Amino acid sequence: MVIGTHLNNGTTDVKNIVETFVQDDTDLNELVDDAIILAHYIGMVTRADKTKTRIDSCVFVPFTLFPSPFPRQIFIEAFEIQKAMQLLYFRVSNDFEFLIKTLEPVASTNKFVSHQLKLYRAVQSQPIRQPLTLHITRSDYMCHVSKSNESEHEEEYQLKQVEMNIGQLGGNSISNRSTILHRQMLEKVGVDPAIVPDNDADGIMAQGLYQAWKAFGVDDAVFIISRKFHDIEFFQLKIRLKQFSENKIKIALSEPGVLEYFFPEPEYAQKVKNIRKTFAKMWSLEQEDDEIMKIINYAIENPGNYVLKPCEEGGVNNFWDEEIAENLRIFNTEERAAHILMEPCCEEFLGVRPNDEANAQLSNIVSELGIYGYLLGNSSNMAVLRNERNGYMLRSKREDATEGGIHAGGGVHDSPYLF
């Protein structure tokens, strides 16, 4: 169980929330009890039996006791750029030549990618049988904190994209409930709940499905939703391809002129600049030219400046600090090609107060903001029928947790306290 609250280091007018909102341990315990009861009441729960053999008991999902301070301008930037992000990935997903050019260089050293590209070519050689396509998306970001160019004592907040999730999304129904819970907890301590923005994460998902059904044009068409993956191996392969291609595509999109290729319209010039600013620096490692070898050698000497990520993983099994140097020294060509080197995002102003039984401690955290939306388009003529966004999810984890998904036990559901 992890329940927490957050604070900052005094760089803004958001002070130590623990001291401001909580008078003493008795007050804290009462607030925690109230939050747990509310979580059960609003359905912010999951099954207690992880083996799924029983369905008659549940536990609340991990969450923060109060919302976390989050820069208002960064939140607005993430929300406003979502439609352009969705349009970008719609165009990328339908550009056969670009995808082949991006992924083919690694096919010679990766049998899995080579096999998938053969299947992709076979599919593309046939006519499009169903032109309508629905992209249900969540674009995840972190607030990168860096020193101001004007003063080393001032900090600048920058929006940096972690990944673009398409189709396989989770957490949207809990995100709505997190907003409800955190607004009520703020009311209990006399704070205006409107500081937490409105959230309709599950509503935007339902709207996307409805619009796709409507565009399909068959009145008696129905959705078939399966909660089980009968072919687990197929599902795992799909995830591997998604993660591998996503990292390689992100690197390709960051190259000069690529975003302009996908957005040739003059009216998108500013959107292109805004998207490019969200890209963290990334390097593909399959080449052995002088530039890449220079970066690798620098990373070996300065591993704290990077994170080494497997291309086929979804945010786990990353290497940090000295692990980076150790692995870069021993990787063969194929192993190196299966990884990317990335500039990490840093948050220095947040902290979390987890409650483990009667033991409470303060520790730094990092938070990840996801913006939900959908794009309904036609792959034959590239027409966009609907492009909408609404709702968000905020997840936080301890700063010292190198891996931290909520289901893995390292993260908690959160909400933004905008400042």
Q: Known binder of ligand: residue 399?
A: no
Q: Known binder of ligand: residue 351?
A: no
Q: Known binder of ligand: residue 312?
A: yes
For the chain, report the end-to-end CA distance as a whole number of angstroms.
Answer: 28
Nearest CA among 57, 217, 205 for reference residue 134: 205
Q: Known binder of ligand: residue 395?
A: yes
**Contacts of residue 321, Cβ cutoff 8 Å, sequence gap at least 6:** 303, 304
Nearest CA among 113, 164, 119, 163 for reference residue 137: 164
The Cα–Cα gap between 309 and 303 comes to 13
Q: Known binder of ligand: residue 318?
A: yes
Q: Known binder of ligand: residue 313?
A: yes
Q: Known binder of ligand: residue 368?
A: yes
Q: Known binder of ligand: residue 15?
A: no
Q: Known binder of ligand: residue 94?
A: no
Q: DSSP per residue over 14-42, as a string?
A: ---HHHHH--SHHHHHHHHHHHHHHHHHT
Q: Known binder of ligand: residue 309?
A: yes
Contacts of 205-209 with C-beta under 8 Å, sequence gap 24+, read 205/136, 205/169, 205/172, 205/372, 205/374, 205/391, 207/374, 207/388, 207/390, 208/134, 208/136, 208/373, 208/374, 208/376, 208/386, 208/388, 209/134, 209/136
Q: Known binder of ligand: residue 197?
A: no
Q: Known binder of ligand: residue 345?
A: no
Inter-axis angle of helices 82-93 and 96-107, to 10 degrees? Answer: 70
Binding site listing: 309-318, 368, 395, 397, 403
Query: Residue ranges for the binding site for substrate?
Result: 395
Residues belonging to the binding site for ATP are 309-318, 368, 397, 403
Annotated binding site for Mg(2+): 313
